[in-house]
Structure 1
């Protein structure tokens, strides 16, 4: 029987790496590797929680596949937002920025790895993204633009090395994405004494914006194998609510402390 050729499939590909990683390593290797480990915990968790699979990881780069473009873009925006929030709480020397490229395309399956233009375009898009930003192909954009409450901006066509045709590109306005933690959106509470309680002055208190916390679902069936599905439902709700910009959503790690 003749060889039918390599197996192929359509996949959503996420490519990401650290901006200026070589320069950071040259300045301080130990500090850079420590910060990379902290940042990778955020990127890898977001990819895993959104049903992605990392199939390429060398140094500061990450390449992952998703069965759904929606899952891929949610993972990308989630970890870029979390990285942004992390950077706000550390010194300038400890900050790290990632670029992300997203593409939907045909890929070749070879063992646990994927190859082909579908992967190459994602890597080229990542290289062209702004620090801390996300760039996606036109094909990827068309699949997600009407399904998610996000701002997409056309950045024209790009001519890419070793890619036959120019690729229409878009970027996501990451700066407009909400923070995950309610604490990052609130102001300090002003304490008052008992005798001040009757006062209605605006200086006596600061109103705290409401936030949403999704608590873990309880596995009522008693089957330990069903815990995975219960947790998955909770994580999906948190992820989808986090896309809304009108209210802060408590992160998964904080919510799951109430298990």
Structure 2
């Protein structure tokens, strides 16, 4: 029977965003890309003094004796994989999410267990595609030692943990770690230049999206202006403006990557129903029943998320 003990360690969790979709589109190509990415990740983890504990499906868990080296390994991993993905079609890119936590864990054989692992896994699921999220315990150790930017994300709720875990997104593209990655890893292999963190990219609309929002805004403003200038006691522009708002929301949902698109689509539907109810108000809030149904579906989808 394996000896059970405890230790303080840095837990590194990673998985692939939209892995199921990638496998559905091209199983063999996705598996080959996954193996290549895992080899690169394993090499970088080892070069920074870490140890790959386990892999499953698209997931990977490792631990590090050094918090600083764990974050450096994550940054180097995302930079190297960014170079790999730059040569792939946009819909076939293999974007990893990485979560890092410093915590006390139970060690049994080669495996580790405990809240520290669960927190790292939760941080990973909250990371943007191609991004890194760390806990406050990690941030406190690396904020003056690794020259990257950080964005406070607020407390993250974790199952079986009473209080939220303060978390930070690592902003890879804000600044550079002045120590060359090849020197840190000892591999002598030059690393790709840092890329902008996905968390920033996802909050910046694409040029096409900005144009669409601008056009919709102009149309909505024109309709409201025409309605007011030809006022006959009826605000008829409310319905086309609501339709334009729904179109804008659907366009945003198509492009965003921070939230589950199916859940946000349901939220847009609920808001649309509420708007119709208010614009056709007859003294009864009939939209409450379909909104409650939508909320129940959203709750089920959220509880069944990965």
Q: CA deviation at 1:9?
A: 0.5
Match in the other structure for 1:142: 140
* Distance (Å, rounded) in 1 between the aligned partners of 2:185 and 2:61: 22
**Correspondent of 1:123 among 121, 124, 127:** 121
- Equivalent position of 1:220 in the other structure: none
**Which structure's CA Rg is the greater one?**
2
**In the TM superposition, what is the alpha-carbon distance from 1:26 to its structure 2 partner?**
1.3
Distance change >3 Å, CA 177–CA 111, structure 1 → 2? same
Q: Which one has a larger percent helix, Structure 1 or Structure 2?
A: 2
Aligned equivalent of 2:165: 167
Among 136, 148, 151, which residue is 2:149 paired with? 151
TM-score (norm 2): 0.57
C-alpha distance 85-159 of structure 1, shift in aligned 2 (>3 A): same
Partner of 2:69: 71
4+ aligned runs moved over 6 Å, structure 1: 241-245
- The match for 1:235 among 174, 180, 185 is 185
Unaligned runs of 5+ residues in structure 1 are: 180-211, 215-232, 246-259
Asked if structure 1 preserves the Cα contact closer than 8 Å seen for 2:48 and 2:184, the reply is no
Residue 175 of structure 1 aligns to a residue in which SS? coil
User: What whole-Å deviation, never above 9, does each CA across 1:28-66 have from its counterpart, x for those lacking one?
Assistant: 111110111121121111101111111120011010000
1:242 Cα deviation after fit: 6.8
CA distance, structure 1, for counterparts of residue 121 and residue 134 of structure 2: 10
C-alpha change, 1:113 and 1:234, in structure 2 (3 Å) is closer
In structure 2, list runs of 5 or more residues that go unmatched.
195-306
More divergent stretch after superposition (57-66 vs 39-48): 39-48
Q: Secondary structure at the match of 1:172?
A: strand
**Alignment RMSD, CA only?**
2.8
Summarize the alignment of residues 93-108 of structure 1 with structure 2, pairs less than 5 Å apart: 93-108=91-106
Report the equivalent of 2:12.
Answer: 14
- Mapped to 1, the partners of 2:170 and 2:87 lie a distance apart of 23
Is this contact kept in 1: 2:102–2:135, CA < 8 A?
A: yes
d(CA) in 1 for partners of 2:36, 2:175: 21
Could you tell me which of 26, 29, 35 is aligned with 2:27? Answer: 29
Comparing 123-132 and 152-161, the one that deviates more: 152-161
Write the deviation string for residues 165-187 of structure 1: whole angstroms up to 9, x where unpaired: 210000111234669xxxxxxxx
Q: Deviations over 1:182-221 (max 9, x none)?
A: xxxxxxxxxxxxxxxxxxxxxxxxxxxxxx897xxxxxxx
Q: What is the distance in 1 between the residues matched to 2:68 and 2:176?
A: 18
Match of 1:52 in 2: 50
Identify which range, 105-114 or 162-171, moves more after superposition. Answer: 162-171
Q: Is the 8 A contact 2:44 2:185 kept in 1?
A: no
Render the CA deviation track for 1:198-254: whole Å, top value 9, x for unaligned: xxxxxxxxxxxxxx897xxxxxxxxxxxxxxxxxx7734969x97998xxxxxxxxx
